[in-house]
């Protein structure tokens, strides 16, 4: 199945999940993440905020934990004209507003841009990933352009409600590969990352 069909299939599947189940599985994903000790030893984390109408994973569960243990959290601020992302600082007093496509971003006076080079762990939005580490996102390519600007040893984590598929057919050589895939019941170490930490 190609990317377009996979995107349509899993987007529809995710939209059919109840709000109660979304919350439950979001906590289950967080509990899986807690098992990976080395990812919590870093300082700067980049994580997307959930788009509620798309039934995305409630990443505020992860964000609140990171802030509680004294980590720096940054979030994406999207520029749809340039198809790029600014890396913006997030803290407990950040005031958010809903932007295009229902994306939450800091209001202008709370928009503090942080150097991309500081990011050590990045949580990447996706619908589904395969056992090689390729992912299906929304097709805009924001993170495919963003990741090459980060440090080479950044830990790339994909989180999904669905068990990975065997192989995404029409991948491109520049497509982003994740290092760790997390589902409510499993942790998948991809691209030999476990041996590097």
56 is in an annotated binding site: yes
Candidates 23, 18, 29; CA nearest to 126 is 29
7 is in an annotated binding site: yes
- 105 forms bridges with which residues in the sheet? 97
Using CA of residue 124, residue 128, residue 130, residue 134, what is the dihedral sign? negative
Q: Is the distance from CB of 157 to CB of 99 less than 8 angstroms?
A: no
189 is in an annotated binding site: no
Residue with tokens 């601020």: 77
135 is in an annotated binding site: yes
181 is in an annotated binding site: no
188 is in an annotated binding site: no
143 is in an annotated binding site: yes
Exposed, middle or buried by CB within 10 Å (0-12, 13-18, 19+), for 61?
A: middle
Q: Is the distance from CB of 134 to CB of 177 less than 8 angstroms?
A: yes
107 is in an annotated binding site: no
141 is in an annotated binding site: yes
4 is in an annotated binding site: yes
138 is in an annotated binding site: yes
137 is in an annotated binding site: yes
3-state class (DSSP) for residue 98:
strand
Using CA of residue 132, residue 135, residue 141, residue 143, what is the dihedral sign? negative
Q: What is the rounded distance in angstroms from the CA atom of residue 26 to the CA atom of residue 41?
A: 22
Candidates 61, 50, 56, 115; CA nearest to 89 is 115
- Pick out the residues of the known binding site for substrate: 51, 56
Residue positions forming the annotated binding site for ATP: 3-7, 135-143
Binding site residue list: 3-7, 51, 56, 135-143
């Amino acid at each position: 199945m190609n990317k377009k069909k996979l995107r349509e299939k899993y987007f529809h599947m995710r939209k059919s999940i109840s709000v109660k189940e979304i919350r439950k599985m979001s906590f289950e994903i967080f509990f899986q993440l807690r098992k990976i000790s080395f990812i919590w030893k870093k300082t700067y984390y980049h994580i997307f905020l959930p788009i509620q109408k798309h039934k995305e994973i409630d990443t505020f569960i992860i964000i609140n934990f990171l802030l509680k243990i004294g980590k720096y959290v940054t979030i994406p601020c999207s520029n749809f004209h340039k198809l790029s992302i600014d890396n913006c600082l997030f803290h407990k007093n950040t005031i958010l507003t809903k932007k295009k496509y229902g994306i939450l971003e800091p209001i202008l006076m709370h928009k503090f841009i942080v150097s991309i080079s500081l990011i050590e762990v990045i949580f990447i939005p996706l619908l589904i990933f395969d056992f090689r580490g390729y992912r299906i996102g929304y097709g805009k390519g924001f993170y495919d352009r963003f990741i090459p600007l980060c440090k080479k040893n950044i830990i790339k984590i994909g989180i999904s409600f669905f068990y990975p598929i065997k192989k995404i057919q029409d991948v491109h050589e520049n497509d982003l590969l994740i290092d760790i895939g997390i589902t409510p019941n499993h942790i998948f170490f991809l691209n030999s990352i476990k041996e590097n930490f």
